[in-house]
Amino acid sequence: MATIETERLLLRDFAPRDWEALDAIVSDPAVTRYMHFARWDEQKRRQWHARMVEEASRPHPGVDNWAITRRSDGQLTGWLFIGSSSDLGARGTRGCGYALGQRFWGQGYMTEALRAAITYVFTTLGTRRIIADCQEANLASARVMQKCGMIYEGTSYSEDFEGVGAVEHHYSITAPVQEAL
């Protein structure tokens, strides 16, 4: 997976050393109150982290899980996923998800990271469309998507990959059309 640099951030592969910082983020009830992580125990979080570390060693895993770190001090601030899935339907469509440590909220880190990742998957991977969902009450996540150019597509009751349902807002962004020479 590619490493992505922004003005303040470095999006990189997960490493074994990230466990404690990542666990602090995805075990925080304030961070995960609208996410499936809220139902995960430590063992499940450890398995997920181990899978992300293992996936990072593959040449083209088809799923990009980035550790979001500050360039200034290397501090892990969050997690960002953009990946393909067989249940997304249209070829060239990827889904995304993210979590940011509570102490990093309100500083523009997630918007900066998601914008950079969107640009990467559109320009480098040839992705045509990215979709994302957030629970209706998760206004901060919806705002991040909007700031990144994602368009609101509607609200409906949906079940996540673990079968837990909620009313969710649906967003998407489509790659810019490139003009033929």
The DSSP letter of residue 179 is P
- Per DSSP, what are the bridge partners of residue 82? 64, 96
pLDDT bucket at 159, cuts 50 / 70 / 90: confident
pLDDT bucket at 164, cuts 50 / 70 / 90: confident
Give the CA angle between residues 163, 164, 165 to the nearest 5°. 115
Average pLDDT, integer, range 105-127: 94
Cα gap 72→75, rounded to integer Å: 8
Cα gap 39→58, rounded to integer Å: 28
Select the more confidently predicted residue: 64 or 1.
64
The per-residue pLDDT for range 132-148, each reduced to its tens digit, is: 999 999 999 999 999 99
Average pLDDT, integer, range 32-52: 92
Average pLDDT, integer, range 93-115: 96
Q: Quick one: pLDDT at residue 7?
A: 97
The per-residue pLDDT for range 14-32, each reduced to its tens digit, is: 999 999 999 999 999 999 9
Q: Quick one: pLDDT at residue 151?
A: 98
Cα gap 90→76, rounded to integer Å: 33
Query: Does 61 have pLDDT greater than 70?
Result: no
Q: Do residues 117 and 83 lie in contact, with contact meaning Cβ atoms separated by under 8 Å?
A: no
Cα gap 51→44, rounded to integer Å: 11
CATH homologous superfamily of 4-174? Gcn5-related N-acetyltransferase (GNAT) (3.40.630.30)
Q: Quick one: pLDDT at residue 178?
A: 66
Cα gap 139→122, rounded to integer Å: 26
pTM of the model: 0.90
Q: Quick one: pLDDT at residue 118?
A: 95
Structural tokens at position 156? 């409906």
Q: Which of 99, 118, 121 is nearest to 110 (CA)?
A: 99
Measured on CA atoms in the order 172, 122, 12, 16, is the torsion positive or negative?
Answer: positive
Cα gap 149→118, rounded to integer Å: 10
